[in-house]
Amino acid sequence: MPRVLGVDIPGRKQILYSLRYIYGVGPTLSAEIIKKADLDPTKKADDLTPDELRRLIDVIQSGYRVEGDMRREVTGNIRRLISIGSYRGLRHRRGLPVRGQRTSTNARTRKGPRRTVGAVRGKEARAAAKK
């Protein structure tokens, strides 16, 4: 498993796909980086020579925001939205979907597991049943 910018990328996959394991690198950016580094996109990540690996890292560091910088930027943007009190910021603060999805049904990923309202359990339930 080669290590690129502090991330272990899968060695058995083609470099085109294994670069996507770096935060901030998607399909388009991956292809662009490989083209700039003058690498063969079908080559496996384990088969890269130290020189090719160095070129790859140089290209990524020279012109792209990835990993820590990208994470900081995204969290900074979310904090800014929350602090100015925008609608999107309120949705982030409340942990609800931000991009207009419905919440009447679905949205379980953002809202978390269902919380039952009105159900009484334990000693209180038994005491209420006896009365």
More confident residue, 13 or 129: 13
Instruction: Look at the pTM and tell me if it is higher than 0.75.
Output: no
At residue 82, what is the residue type?
I
Hey, what's the torsion of the CAs at 85, 87, 89, 92, to 10 degrees?
Answer: 140
CB atoms within 10 A of CB 45: 23
The DSSP symbol for 29 reads H
Q: pLDDT tier at 85 (50, 70, 90 boundaries)?
A: very high
- CATH architecture of residue range(s) 3-64: Orthogonal Bundle (1.10)
- Beta carbons within 8 Å of 22's beta carbon, 6+ residues apart: 4, 5, 7, 9, 60, 66, 67
Q: What percent of the chain has pLDDT over 90?
A: 42
Supply the pLDDT for residue 131: 66
At residue 10, what is the residue type?
P
More confident residue, 89 or 106: 89
pLDDT of 74 higher than 80: yes
Supply the pLDDT for residue 120: 66
Write down the domain spans for the chain.
3-64, 68-111
Q: Give domain 68-111's CATH superfamily.
A: Ribosomal protein S13/S18, C-terminal domain (4.10.910.10)
Query: Which of 131, 3, 6, 4 has the alpha carbon at shortest distance from 68?
Result: 6
